[in-house]
Amino acid sequence: MGLSTTRRITTVTLCFLLLSYTISFAVYYVKVLETTDKAKADAVLYELVNSGIDNCNVKKAQNYVVFCGPYSSLDEARTVSSKINKLGYFTVITERIKKETKKSVRKTVEKTKTTVKKRGRVREAFLGLKVKEMYDYLNANKLVEAQTLAYSLLNTEFRNEAIFVLALINMKKGNHEKACELFSKLPDKFKPNLEELRSISCLYAEKIKEKPEVKKEEKTVYRADLTQAGKLLAQGNPEEAIELAKKVLLSDPTNVEAMLIIGDAYMELGDYSNAYSYYKMALGFDKENLRAIKGLMYASLALKRYEEAYNYARELGRLGVENGDIERVKALYLAKKAEDFVKRKEYDKAYIYLKEAEKLAPDDPYVLLLLGDIYFGRGDYTQAYKYYVEAYKRKRDFDFLLKILYALANLNNYDLINTYLSQIDVSELNEAQRRKLKNFYKVLYVKASSYYLSQKDYEKAYRIAKEGLILFPKNRTLLKNLAWSCLNLEDYKCAEENFKKALSLYENDYDALYGLALTYAREGKEGEVNKIVKKLEKKRDKETYMKIADIYVILGDYDRAEYYLNQAKKLSRAKPVKIKRVKIRPREEKLREERVESTIFYNPFIKGYEGEEKETEKEKEEKLYPFELEEKRISELEEKIKEAKKKENTDFIESGIQFSQNREEKVWTS
């Protein structure tokens, strides 16, 4: 009995182990079916079934087969089914095979559809961007780029958009017949203005077809007039050439030759805007007229429309024209792009474009000037000066000269600046140029006085600041530079006066407050110093506290000096200090004698020049400081009050006499 029980336990244990082993194979088999390796799937299946038959009863094996399927093929299912002697399960197994197969196929189809949809959306978005870019080119008048994109979109779902743009391009070029044909291909409700555009283009196309032919006799006359106009232009009479060509154009409005002669004549006169208009009109009637395209390229260059000029240069290249100026136009186009980066201070990006432009046109002044601007922006003033000089050699332009002067000012080469300034004839400058030159003088006086002050050449700093204040009396920096020069030259009255003027323009100028406090300290005016220190304390920084400490050291007030020095140390987390007491001798003030001297810098605005107008009362008033202006207005108001009182007294006396006379008359009458 015990032995049979042991056998049963052993058998159950073996069946349990077999079940675990079979389930693990079943899981593995399900994973295998997801692959296309049929041989591997069959091998797993055989191992599973054999383990069920050999080690356990048939019913359990049948259950394993049913629940761990499906099979890789129907033949294998039959073999296994006959092996386990259970035909009833064959149908169930087959159905499971079909069900799993359909499920797998459905998933694959759905996945494929999703992928196709996503790809379709991406393609549509990409083409949509191309459509937007095409319209942007059209609006920017870049017809070549717009046309290229339109042709690339003809075989897509945006075909109508492409046709519409091609029609507009032809309309812009004056090819109305082609535009009419393209507009007619579009559905009526494609665009709100389609019908209007179609009508206009078709109407122009009909008019061109119906244009009456010019008689041979008239043609001969026109040809003779145009030949004469060409000769006049060659002889240097552009005005007469324009008059004669316009006469032909009035009789024959579509005469392209007349338009081109007028365009050439206007170019000769320097009227680039009118020249551009006539070349554009000529190109409208003859879209591949090389002379018109060249004219438009040069007119666009003169008008500084470099991108447009570049487009016309590309068109010439496309038509097989070899022209040395095409490379220069490309260089200027690149330079224009670089200029945009220079304005945004993106010097590295600008440099890439300009180096390419320099290869194409190494002697172009505009390219050289922009290279100078890049070096100036980077702080390399020597290289900037070099490029500015090269540009100025090739084009004697006033703005180029100003660039040279600014570079020299940053290099502190004031002697060479003086040489350049002495060559400028102010009487030949227009109002805008004079204004620019005055602005440079302001920068020059500020930089030069600051430079000599830093070099401790106080006498020269004094003279330059004094000279600058003649022209710019309200410049705070010049006032402070003059005051600091006076302070270092021990002219305390001059220092006090100019620091006060600077503070009248801006009361919270801490540099001027410190300078004034230092001046009072040198003069021994402790009360005035204390007033200013209260204002300086508001800044609450280490540097200011140290300056206040210096002021009290000069006054000999060491306790306060220690206090402010320790305040500064607190901010820098240093140990407190004690100041050694020494006797301070008061400094004697050295008054400077005012004397008329020649200016340091050549300055026609100070010396005067022929044709210069005298200062008006308004201009004189603008030069007054706020406190001076207030004093002037108070005195003017006092004068007005005095005059009003005098007038009032006179009127009162006269009215009193009149009253008494009237009273006497009334008494007499009564």
pLDDT-derived band at 154 (thresholds 50, 70, 90) equals confident
* Cis peptide preceding 70, ω within 30 of 0: yes
> Does 513 have pLDDT greater than 60?
yes
Q: Higher-confidence residue: 65 or 447?
A: 447
pLDDT at position 444, please? 92
Digit-coded pLDDT (tens) for 419-476: 898 888 888 888 999 999 999 999 999 999 999 999 999 999 999 999 999 889 889 9
pLDDT-derived band at 481 (thresholds 50, 70, 90) equals very high
Same fold, 121-210 and 216-323: yes
Compute the mean pLDDT over every residue in the chain, rounded to the nearest whole number. 73
> Does 46 have pLDDT greater than 90?
no
pLDDT at position 462, please? 93
pTM of the model: 0.52
Q: Please, which residues have CB within 8 angstroms of residue 49's CB and are 6 or more apart in sequence?
A: 61, 64, 65, 80, 83, 84
CA 163, CA 150: separation in Å to the nearest integer? 7
Q: Higher-confidence residue: 416 or 668?
A: 416
Q: Higher-confidence residue: 150 or 82?
A: 150
Q: Please, which residues have CB within 8 angstroms of residue 263's CB and are 6 or more apart in sequence?
A: 275, 276, 278, 279, 282, 292, 295, 299
> Does 85 have pLDDT greater than 60?
no
CA 314, CA 301: separation in Å to the nearest integer? 14
CA 313, CA 297: separation in Å to the nearest integer? 6
For the chain, domain boundaries: 121-210, 216-323
Q: Higher-confidence residue: 105 or 511?
A: 511
DSSP secondary structure, 232-274, as one string: HHHTT-HHHHHHHHHHHHHHSTT-HHHHHHHHHHHHHHT-HHH
pLDDT-derived band at 114 (thresholds 50, 70, 90) equals low
Query: Of 96, 35, 102, 101, nearest to 68 (Cα)?
Result: 96
pLDDT at position 386, please? 93
Q: Higher-confidence residue: 477 or 52?
A: 477
The 3-state secondary structure of 286-336, one letter per residue: CCCCHHHHHHHHHHHHHCCCHHHHHHHHHHHHHCCCCCCHHHHHHHHHHHH
pLDDT at position 100, please? 58
- 367-371 mean pLDDT: 89
Q: Encoding tokens for residue 621?
A: 């008033």
Query: Of 521, 459, 506, 509, nearest to 484 (Cα)?
Result: 459
pLDDT at position 281, please? 86
> Does 88 have pLDDT greater than 60?
no
Query: Is the domain defined by 216-323 classed in CATH 1.25.40.10?
Result: yes
Is residue 174 within 8 A of residue 289, CB to CB? The reply is: no
pLDDT at position 286, please? 82
Q: In angstroms, how far is CA 406 from the centroid of its own chain?
A: 23
The CATH class of 121-210 is mainly alpha
CA 271, CA 454: separation in Å to the nearest integer? 52
pLDDT-derived band at 647 (thresholds 50, 70, 90) equals low
